[in-house]
Each structure stands twice: as structure tokens, then as C-alpha cells.
Amino acid sequence: MHVSRFGKILTRYGICCFAFFISLTISINSNASAANTDLNLRWQGIEQLGKNQDVYFHAWGGDPQINAYIQWTAQQVKALYDINLHHVKLSDTSEAVSRVLAEKSANNDTHGSVDLVWINGANFATMSEHSLLLKQWANYLPNFKYTDPTNNPAVNFDFGIPTQGMEAPWGQASLTFYYDSLATDNPPTTLDELVIWSAKNTGRFSYPKPPDFLGLSFLKYALVILHQDSAIEIQSLLNQPVTDQSKVVVLSPLWDFLDKLHPTLWRNGKHFMTSGAQLRRLVDDTELSLAFTFSAPEVPAAVKRYDLPASIRSYAMSDGSLSNTHFVAIPYNAAHSNSAQLVANFLLSPRAQAEKQKSNIWGDRTVLIHSMLENKQSAWFKAQEPHPSALPFNSIQRTLSEPHPDWVNAIIQGWNVRYGVSK
Amino acid sequence: MNVEPTKTTNIEYKTDLFTRIVKFSPRFLLACLLIPVLAGLIGVVLPAFGWAPALSQYKIGLHGFTALWQTPGLVQMAMLSISTGLISTLLAFIITLMILAAFFNTVWLNYIQRLLSPILVIPHAAAAIAIGFLIAPSGMLSRLVSPWLSGWELSPQGIFPHDAMGISIILVLTLKELPFLLLMALGVLAQPELGKKLRAQHKVALSLGYCPMTAFFKVILPNLYPLLRLPILAVLAYASASVEMPLILGPNTPPTLAVAIMQWFNDVDLNLKIKASAGALLQLAITGGLLMLWLFGEKVVMYFCRDLLTNGEREYSGAFWQKLTSVLITGVIGFILLALVGLLLSSVAGFWRFPSAIPDQLVLSHFQSALTQMAGPVINTLNIGIVSTALAILLTLLCLESEQLRNKSVSRFMSFIIYLPLLVPSIAFLFGLVWLQQLANNLSVFVSVVLTHLLFVLPYVFLSLAGSYRRLDPRFSNVAASLGAKPHKVFLKVKLPQLFAPILIAAALGLAISFGQYLPTLLVGGGRISTITTEAVALANGASRRTSAVYAIMQMVLPLIGFIIAWLLPKFFYKSAHH
């Protein structure tokens, strides 16, 4: 009895020791592979739990191409994981933010209605500030490695704020201009030229009213360019939170610029559209001859859909193009957070990213780095014959990075005080 | 001994389940309408004064109102809401009166009614989209005169839509409310007793040498107006606080108050919700003020026109006014037809550069791509519409039956409450309602949306059915009852079959109202339930003209199908019954 019991203990002890040594050897030999096994186990768990559920994906729904791409994604995740992906079409992402906040205040901490949200910039800043997002998941997605996270700050910072694994990168955008070549043949290529061009072609240019994302992007582009030759101390203020003094110093050149530009704009700068899609419609109506977008492939796609005339040409400003990354995030109280991670991982997969980059699908630039992909995967991204209205290859000569998100509110407030009420 | 059984049957009759349900139904109807509106209002009043547990704010105070007063352009927003609401209602009312006066007792009135009533089923958003196409600088009107007359090679710089004065909003609201008021007036005149009396009086006035228009204003209007008052007030309340039309056609520097409130509620900055609640109260005050102003204006007009009624004057250049009315109504109908043509062309247009009046090529790709994405929204639209309309009809029928069992019509209070959801601006109580639903948290989204739609469907269904129900010849039911039929049998076998056609019309109307709801679906559904209308409004402010044209057309087709069914089904049934 005693012997056998002792033997049992000995065996158990031995197994433990053995296991310890094995694990020690492995961890000494390759720390990474142990971590990998952990990650694999973690991911297997998520796959187990996340299958066969609903995912409510709250994403801006104003573009039929993007909506169609999300539907394609829904079919794919249905086939892969039996997940029913529902696209909740928002007219403004802030609707989802307020919903999650309302749920938090109603103490709904586990059955939130938002599972996945398409987000970046100010909305992300708000959500992370109020701790409304699930942390440390995006960096553990199996497909995250293709973004080359160690060398690529674009996927770890959102408008200068560290993402801390709260959001998975989805696509990249930079400010691209387009013009009607039948109406004008010398579009402006710098901010200075823009003012001159607009004075000559009165009423043929406009920008969406803040707080629209695209309108703010234009204002930020102008702000960054206006401070190009400012002292380094003033330039660095752009990357810091706003103070009362910095607000005056940094923003007054912008207001001077707008005071000069506005009288030459569409409707004398007294009425502004509220989105980039409306701007595009005005170009189609020939009311505007020059406009811009944050997603370059949208332009040829619109021409193919007859939403823009065939005479449209795209180009990038030679003094710089504002660029940023957009993400998907999971609210802390999402009812189906595991399934949402499966979807986010699929969105980041080479196949989904390649599909997204096709100009006839959506044309959103991928966040994956080509050197991280296998040849076969890399081949999926090869573009077809470029469309005459598309942005010519390699035309972005200089990228401008986004100022600190704090500036967004400062710009919105200042803009509303000055131009929000037409006189 | 003989007395006993009679007593028991009597008791049995009174406690019959059907009868009890019927007698209880008016109270249930009241609860259905009153509770959400009042609860929603409380849910707005509390945060307006700073008490918002959802934002962990418990400090009661006026800071919401302070923030509201400091909003740049607040006065302009309020003025825009007031002017668009008041002017459009006045215009719609005046044109309605002119049409009625010019064509009273003639066949033309029937033609006009037939031409205008389809506009009633066009949802507000679709109407706004269609008219927007027409009046834009590159719209149909401008294309028709370019370049041969105007010399425009590029679209001119216009002010429509989105003009700062809100003229585009006034235009669309007027066009949309005109058929509603006209049909309401015609509905009143269709009441057998009253209609007969008024027509006879009109004839007497004519034989006394009054011009037809003068006769209408002096004889008919004083009797007609009291019955039109509530519909007019509903129109005024809606016009002063609507969201989707100003959103699509209105200015945005600044927008109307209702649109601004919605934007504050949806803003990233959650502290704006306090300000938005204060704004909702201001909206409530504005709408209430406008209603009071209208009632006061009524008194003033009555005071000054009292003598005119009896001054014996027969003629106020009636021929001129009659011609003017004909021109006006032709203009209105032509305008609407042109808008529809523009909408149809846009939905199938390939490249269509200004100033061509017709597209370069006609393609079906917009329909194809939209239809593939439309299935979900259409199914949602139908589900919500059918369930809420069915509930509304059931409740309405029970209430009307209780009227007949009690042998007296509903109280004034009750008929006012039925109008309540139409008189209280929805922007003022829907947000509160959403907030309370967050607290309750256990209703499914679908149920919440259906119940909210019910609020807006019920009044119309009730108004549409009440007339026919009250006109039912009581002798049929009396005969049936005297033959021993229980109340439920009388209701099901005698009354309902006679009401087949009116019920179908009420159902089609209820569906049309439900299909057109934007704010209730968006807010209560929290964006989780997309219907054809929420999609159409989202696309009108986003995607291409062509896609939004397809959605607007779908928005019109759905209710139209309902009305066609309601119109055909009775014919089919009566025909087969005849055989």
C-alpha cells in the first residue's frame, strides 16, 4: 500500500519534473515557439467559442461599394465560421460610440449591442478615454503579423494615440484630389495654387463641413501645410494636446487662410455639404470642378458606376498628402467578442485585404506589408490595368501625418464659431 | 322562479370574455398612446435639467439650457423651424381651401383627389429626394432650359436646395401636406349627414346668386373648419419639427432646430446630450407656441370675418380666383410629375452630364446593385409594417366596437389623445423613450420598434376606420342579436364582413405610415433595424443620386402595392360572392 502510494507520488513528481525540464529546454531553445503555442492555444479557444454566432458590425453605411464588400465578408465568415455578420449601417460612427456609452451607464457590461465597430481618430480617442474598448486582442490576431507591427507605427498608433491592441488595422487612406478635365485643365497642385485657382473658378470648389471626417482632413491638410515654414517649436505643437495659448498660435493662420478662401467657394462658402459623397455628387452635377476624397479608388469606381463623368482625373497634391490608417475595434461589453475577433482576423487576412484593394470592389489600400507575405499571397494584390480616372501609380510624393486628435475638436469649435452660422 | 334564469343570462352576457375585452380596449389604447409619449417626455425633461444617470450626472440645474443659449445661431435655428413650419402649413391650408372652393360639388374635385392622393403615400424622404432632383441648379428644370435658352454649359450657381431661408423645405412640406389636408376635408364632406346638409346649403347659396367660391367660404367653411382643426394642427406640429426633409433639403449653417437636436444627441461628445434634451424642450415649446398661435390666429380671423359672412356680398372676383386656382393646381401636378420623371430617369441613367435633358444611356445596373442589398431592409420594413398595422387595426376595431356596445362615442379626451403622437414632436419624446428602453433593457429591438411605430400608425388607422364603423347600419346587428347571436358573433360575422373594404384601406394606410417612419426606426432600433426609409435617408445624404433614386422609387412602390391590393381585393371577393 505504502509502497504503491509512494510510487504514485514519485511518478507524479517525476512527470512534473519531466514536464518542467522539457518546458525549460523548449523555452531556452526557442522562447518564441512557446509563445506561439500559447497564442495558437488562445486562438483555438477563440475559434471554439466564437463559431456559429451573430456579429453586429457597426460601420458607416454611406457607400454602396463598401457595403457590398462587407456583405462579401459576411458570406466568407459564414462559410468559414458559421458567423452571421450583420452590417449595422451608421450615418455617423459617433452613433455607435454613444450607444456603447449609454449601455455602460445602464450597467449593461456583458450584453452590448455593438460587437465590432469601424473607427479611427476622434471616435477612437473618445472610446479609449472612456475605457469603452476591449484591450490587448488585436495584437494577438494571427494575421496581425503580416502588418509588420515592429517596424510599422501606422498599425500601432491611431492619430498619434497608441492603440494598445484595442483595434485591428483595416485599411489606409490618403487625401487624393480629383477634377473634371472638361471643365478645367490646370488643377492646383499646392495649397497656394488652390486659393488662386478657386478665385479664378469661383464656386467650383468646396469641402464638407466639419465635423465630417473628410472636411476635417482637408482643414488638417491646410493646417499642416500652412505651418510648413513655421518654427520647429510651433510645428511640434501640432503633435501635442491643445492648450489655450497653442490654439491661438496654431490655428490663426488657418482662419486667415479660410477667410480668404471661403468667398470663392461653392455658394460663397455660406453653405457646406456634410459628406464627401455629397461633394462627389456635386462634381457629377458639374456644379463643382474640383473635389477630394480620402479613398482614391473610390473615384474610378464611381466613374464605372456612372456616378462621376468619364472626364474625371485623379492626382495627389505635390506639397503633401495627409495619410492615416482606419481600424476595427471591439467594445468592452460586446456580446460576441470572440466572434468579433474572428471577423477582425478575417478582415486582416491577405485574401480579404487583396479583395478590398481591387479597384472594382472597394480599392482601399491594404495595411499588410508585402515583404511579410508569401509569393502566392502577394500575387493576389497585383493590380489590373489602371482606369483613366484612377490615381496614377506612385503619385503620392510626400505623406503628411495627422496632428494630435485633440486638434480636431479645436478646429471644429473654432470653425463653428467663425463659419457655423452664415451671416 | 322565472326571474332567476334571465338574471343569469344577463350576467353571462355582461361577463362574456369578448365583451370584457372590448370594454377594456379603450383603456388599453389610451395606455398604448399615453405611456410612451409621457414616459418619453419625462426621459427628456430630467436630462434637460441635468439629471442624467446614464452620463453619471446628477446635478440638477440649468446648465443644459445655458449651453443651449450659447449655441451659435440658436435664434436662426428656431426661426427656421418656425418659419418653415408655419408658412408651409398656411400655404397647404390656403391651397386646399382654394381647391375646395373652386371645385366644390363639381367632378373636377374627384379628378384632383385622384391625382393628388397617390402623393399622400409617398414617404417624406422620397418626396424630398425627388423634389431635390428637380430644383437643384443641375436639376430637371435647369436642364430643360439649357443650354439653348440659358447658355449654361456647366451647372449654374443656384441656391436650391439647402437655401438659407428654407424655401426648399417649405416647398416640399407644402406639396406633401396639401393632399393630406385635402383628403381630410373630403373625408369630412363624405360623411353622409353633414355632406348632404352642406351640399344642399351650397346649392341654396348658389340659387341666391352667390358665386360658387363665395358660397364655399361663407356657407361651407364655417361648418367644415372645426372638423379640419386637428388635422391642421397635426400638420403644423409635424412641419415645425420634422427631421428627414430639412436633413435632405435644408440649410446646415445652421440647420433647423430639430435637425440640430438630432445631431447633438448623436454627437461623440456625450455631454451634448444634456444640451440636446434642453433643445428638445425648446422644440416642444416652439411647436406648442405655434399651435397656440394658430388657434389665436383662428380667433382673430373669425373676429374680423364675422361681418363679412353676413354682409350679403355675392362676388369677390370669383372667376379670377377660380382661374388662379386652376393654374396653381396644374402647376402643382406638373411640378410633381416632372419630379417623378426626373427620379425615374436618374434611377436608370448612365452618364448624364449637364445640360442634357435625358441620360446618354439607360442602364439597369443601379437597380440590380441596389436590389441585391435591399432584401434585408425590405423584409424588415414589411415585418414591422405588417405587425404594427395588424395591432393597430385590432385595437381600433375593438375600441370602435366598445363605442357601439356602450352606445356612445369616445370622449373628447380620448379623441384628443389619439392625436397626441401627431401633435407632440417626435424628436421631443423619442430620445427619452430610447433612454428609458435602455433602462428596461429586456425588450427585443424588433418589439420596441413595432410598439413605437404603433404610436404613429394607430391615429391614422383609427381616423380611417372610425367613419365607416360609425356609419354601419345598426339594424343588421340588431337583427342578428335578436336572433340570438352573441356579441362576438355579431362582430365577426355581421360587422367585419361589411367593413372588409374600409379595413383593407386602413391597413394600406397603416402600412404606408409605418413604411415611411424614419426617426422612430432609427432611434428606437438603435440602427440595428434598417428599413427602406432609413436606408433612403442615409443614402440621400451619402451615395449617388442614382442609387438614392432607386431607394426613393422603392419607397413609393411598397405602399402603392398595399393600396392596389386594398383596392383590388374587395372587387375580387365581391365578384366571387356574386357568382
Query: Do A190 and A117 fall into the same domain?
Result: no
Does residue B62 fall inside a structural domain? no
Domain identity same for B45 and B155: no
Position with higher pLDDT, A17 vs A120: A120
Q: What is the pLDDT of residues B449-486, one digit of tens each?
A: 999 999 999 998 998 898 888 888 888 888 998 998 88
Q: Which domain holds residue A134?
A: 49-171+325-379
**Longest distance between any two alpha carbons in chain A, whole Å:** 103
Residue A358 lies in a domain: yes
My answer on whether B339 and B487 are in the same domain is no
Please answer yes or no on whether A272 and B373 come within 8 Å at the CB atom.
Answer: no
The pLDDT value given to residue B341: 93
Cβ of B266 within 8 Å of Cβ of A92? The answer is yes
pLDDT of amino acid A25: 46
Q: Which of A284, A295, A361, A408 to mutate to test the interface with B (most CBs of B within 10 A)?
A: A284
The domain boundary, picked from B359, B390, B408, lies at: B359
Spatial CA neighbour of B559 closest among B519, B525, B517, B508? B508
Residue type at A194 in one-letter notation: L
Q: Which of residues 156-175 of B touch A (CB under 8 A)?
A: 157, 159, 162-164
In percent, the amount of chain B with pLDDT more than 90 equals 39
**Which positions 263-302 of A are in contact with B (Cβ < 8 Å)?**
266-267, 270-272, 274-275, 277-278, 280-281, 284-287, 289, 302
Give yes or no for residue B9 having a pLDDT over 60. no
Domain final residue pick, B359, B380, B396? B359
Q: Report if residue B501 sits inside a domain.
A: yes
* DSSP output for A293-341: ES-TTHHHHHHHTTSS-TTEEEE--TT-EEEEEEEEE-BTTBTTHHHHH
Q: How far apart are CA B301 and CA A380, in angstroms?
A: 75
Residues B375 and B489 in one domain: yes
Nine cell digits for residue B465: 376606420
More reliable by pLDDT, A383 or B283? B283
In the stretch 67-126 of chain B, residues with CB closer than 8 A to chain A read 72-73, 76
- Rounded mean pLDDT, B385-396: 96
Q: Given this model, what pLDDT does residue B7 score?
A: 42
* pLDDT tens-digit map of B308-360: 888 878 878 888 999 999 999 999 999 999 999 999 999 999 999 888 889 99
Residues A205 and A123 placed together within one structural domain of the fold: no
Looking at B359, B387, B416, the residue that finishes a domain is: B359
In a domain, B372, yes or no: yes
CA distance B331 to chain A (A): 26
DSSP A142: G
Taking CB atoms and an 8 Å limit, are A58 and B527 in contact across chains? yes
**What is the three-class DSSP state of A212?**
coil
A90 contacts in B (CB within 8 Å)?
Answer: 527
- B538 and A62 within 8 Å at the Cβ level: the answer is yes
Query: Could you give the residue ranges of the DSSP H alpha helices within B104-158?
Result: 107-121, 124-135, 140-144
- Work out the angle at residue B443's Cα, subtended by the Cα atoms of residues B441 and B449, and round it to the nearest 5 degrees: 115
Q: Which of B54, B253, B541 lies at the smallest CB-CB distance from A102?
A: B54
Among B167, B253, B379, B434, which would you mutate to test the A interface (most chain A Cβ atoms within 10 Å of its Cβ)? Answer: B253
Residues A317 and A203 in one domain: yes
- Mutation site for B-interface testing, chosen from A65, A89, A100 by largest number of B Cβ within 10 Å: A89
Does A251 share its domain with A350?
no
Distance from CA of A232 to the nearest CA of B (A): 32
User: Which range among A1-15, B88-102, B517-531 has the greatest average pLDDT?
Assistant: B88-102
A101 shares contact with chain B (CB less than 8 Å): yes
Same domain for A194 and A332?
Answer: no
Mean pLDDT, rounded, for B411-429: 85
Answer yes or no: is pLDDT of A259 > 50: yes
How many angstroms separate the Cα of B462 from the Cα of each of B15, B220, B231, B424, B494? 26, 25, 13, 18, 20
Q: Do residues A190 and A243 share a domain?
A: yes
Instruction: With respect to residue A31, please indicate whether it lies within any of the assigned structural domains.
Output: no
Per-residue HEC secondary structure of B237-270 comes to HHHHHCCHHHHHHCCCCCCCHHHHHHHHHCCCCC
- Average pLDDT score over chain A: 86
**Chain B interface test: which of A66, A306, A312, A422 (most B C-beta within 10 Å):** A306
DSSP helix/strand/coil, A392: coil
Q: Which residues of B touch A99 (CB under 8 A)?
A: 526-527
Does a structural domain hold residue A295? Answer: yes
Kindly state the average pLDDT of the residues B486-515. Answer: 90
- Kindly state the cell numbers that stand for B66: 445655458
Chain B CB contacts of A184 under 8 Å are none
Chosen for mutation from B143, B155, B168 (greatest number of chain A CBs closer than 10 Å) is: B155
pLDDT class of A288 with cuts at 50, 70, 90? very high
A207 against B376, higher pLDDT: A207
**Confidence check: pLDDT of A220 > 50:** yes
Task: Please give the tally of structural domains in chain B.
Answer: 2
Flag whether pLDDT at A143 surpasses 90. yes
A338: nearest Cα among A83, A8, A19, A27: A83
pLDDT band of residue A19 (cuts 50, 70, 90) is low
Nearest to B354 by CA among B554, B154, B81: B154
Residue A70 lies in a domain: yes
For residue B289, give the C-alpha cell: 407656441
In-domain check, residue A37 = no
From chain B residues 130-159, the ones with a CB under 8 A of any chain A CB are 136-138, 154-155, 157, 159
Count of Cβ atoms closer than 10 Å to residue B568 Cβ? 11
Percent of the residues in chain A that have a pLDDT greater than 70, as a whole number:
90
Residues A167 and A248 placed together within one structural domain of the fold: no
Q: Which of A71, A89, A419 sits opposite B538 (nearest CB)?
A: A89
Contacts of A272 in chain B (CB under 8 A): 252-253
* CATH number assigned to the domain comprising residue B223: 1.10.3720.10
Task: Give the span between the Cα atoms of A283 and B353, in whole angstroms.
Answer: 10
Q: Convert the pLDDT of each residue in B208-237 to its tens digit.
A: 988 888 999 998 999 999 989 989 999 999
Nearest residue of chain B to residue A95 (CA atoms): B266
B 462-521: CB under 8 A from A:
none
Nearest CA in chain B to A409: B269
Q: In terms of domains, do B323 and B369 share one? A: no
CB atoms A289 and B154 under 8 Å: yes
Mean pLDDT for B381-408 is 91
Of B271, B278, B257, B258, the closest CA to residue B64 belongs to B278
The answer to whether B253 contacts A270, with C-beta atoms less than 8 Å apart, is: yes
For residues B284 and B396, membership in a common domain is answered with no
Contact between A89 and B365 using a beta-carbon 8 Å cutoff: no
pLDDT band for position B268 (cuts 50, 70, 90): low
- Report residue A36 CA to chain centroid gap: 28
Both B270 and B329 in one domain: the answer is yes
Q: Quote the minimal CA–CA distance from B454 to chain A in Å.
A: 23
pLDDT tens string B17-68: 888 888 888 889 888 889 889 989 998 898 888 887 766 778 888 888 998 9
Residue ranges of the alpha helices (H) in A30-106?
Answer: 31-50, 64-81, 94-105
Question: Tell me, what's the pLDDT at B101?
Answer: 92
Q: What average pLDDT does the segment B353-378 reach?
A: 89
pLDDT given at position B558: 92
Residues A60 and A119 in one domain: yes
Do A226 and A290 belong to one domain? yes
Domain-embedded: residue A28:
no
Question: In chain B, whose CA is at the least distance from the CA of A307?
Answer: B544
CB A165 within 8 A of CB A137: yes
Residues B392 and B345 grouped into a single domain: no
**Nearest Cα to Cα of residue B354 among B141, B127, B126, B130:** B141
State residue A106 phi and psi, 5-degree precision: -85, 15
- From residue B291, give the alpha-carbon distance in Å to each of B179, B230, B236, B237: 21, 10, 7, 7
* Residue B159 forms part of a structural domain: yes
pLDDT for position A1: 39
Q: Assign 3-class secondary structure to B406-427.
A: HCCCCCHHHHHHHHHHHHCCHH
A165 touches chain B (CB under 8 A): no
Residues B389 and B536 reside in one and the same domain: yes
Domain region containing B126: 77-359
In B397-456, the residues whose Cβ lies within 8 Å of chain A are 435, 438-439, 441, 445
The lowest-confidence range among A24-33, A274-283, A334-343, B150-159 is: A24-33
Angstrom distance (rounded) from CA B349 to CA B358? 8
Domain match, A152 and A282 both: no
- List chain A residues with CB under 8 Å of B159: 267
Give tens-digit pLDDT for B272-305. Answer: 888 999 999 999 999 999 999 999 999 999 998 8
Domain shared by B453 and B340, yes or no: no
Verify that B184 and B224 share a domain, yes or no. yes
Q: Write B404-407 long-range contacts (CB < 8 A, 24+).
A: B404/B469, B404/B472, B404/B474, B404/B477, B405/B19, B405/B22, B405/B23, B405/B487, B406/B23
pTM, entire model = 0.79
H-type alpha helices, B424-544: 426-440, 445-471, 474-482, 487-489, 496-498, 500-516, 519-524, 532-540
Per the domain annotation, does A393 fall within a domain? no
Query: Are A266 and B157 an interchain contact pair (Cβ–Cβ within 8 Å)?
Result: yes
pLDDT at B86 over 80: yes
The C-alpha atoms of residue A105 and residue B438 are separated, in whole angstroms, by 9
A52 versus A8: which is more confidently predicted? Answer: A52
Contact B370 A63 (CB under 8 A): no
B69 in any annotated domain: no
What is the C-alpha separation between B82 and B258, in angstroms, rounded? Answer: 11
Looking at residue A24, its pLDDT comes to 47
Residues A284, B545: C-beta atoms closer than 8 Å: yes
Cell of B87: 408658412
Which tens digit of pLDDT belongs to each residue from A159-190?
878 889 999 999 988 899 999 999 998 999 99
Residue B379 sits at the chain A interface (C-beta within 8 Å): no
Could you give the strand order of the β-sheet that contains A312-315, starting from the edge strand earlier in sequence? A290-293, A176-180, A312-315
A106 touching B (Cβ < 8 Å): yes
Residue of chain B with shortest Cα separation from A111: B441
Q: What are phi and psi of B409, to 5 degrees?
A: -80, 165
Q: Is residue A387 part of a domain?
A: no
The answer to whether residues B216 and B301 belong to one domain is yes
Q: Quick check: is B208 in a domain?
A: yes
Q: Give yes or no for a contact between B266 and B324, defined as CB atoms under 8 angstroms apart.
A: no
The reply to whether A131 touches chain B by the CB within 8 Å rule is: no
For cell 449601417, name the residue: A89
A202/A314 Cα distance (integer angstroms):
21
What does the mean pLDDT of chain B come to? 87
What's the confidence (pLDDT) of residue A26? Answer: 47
What cell was used for A228?
Answer: 510648413
Examine the domain organization and report whether B185 and B127 are in the same domain.
Answer: yes
* CB contact at 8 A, A183 and A289: yes
- Looking up residue A220, the CATH number of its domain turns out to be 3.40.190.10
Q: Is residue A328 predicted with pLDDT exceeding 90?
A: yes
- Residues A127 and A221 both lie in one domain: no
Q: What is the 3-state secondary structure (H, E, C) of B312-337?
A: CCCCCCHHHHHHHHHHHHHHHHHHHH
Q: Inter-chain contact B373–A64, Cβ cutoff 8 Å?
A: yes
Q: Do residues A379 and A350 touch, judged by C-beta distance below 8 A?
A: no
User: Would you say A340 and A55 are in contact if contact means Cβ atoms under 8 Å apart?
Assistant: yes
More confident residue, B237 or A402: B237
Q: Are residues A163 and A188 in the same domain?
A: no
Measured between CB atoms, does A113 come within 8 Å of chain B? Answer: yes
- Tally the domains of chain A: 2
The confidence score (pLDDT) of residue A384 equals 66
DSSP state for residue B57 in the 8-state scheme: B
User: What are the beta bridge partners of residue B362?
Assistant: B349
B64 domain-assigned: no
Position A29 pLDDT exceeds 60: no
Q: Is B84 domain-assigned?
A: yes
For residue B515, the distance in angstroms to the closest alpha carbon of chain A comes to 18
Which value does ipTM take for this structure?
Answer: 0.79
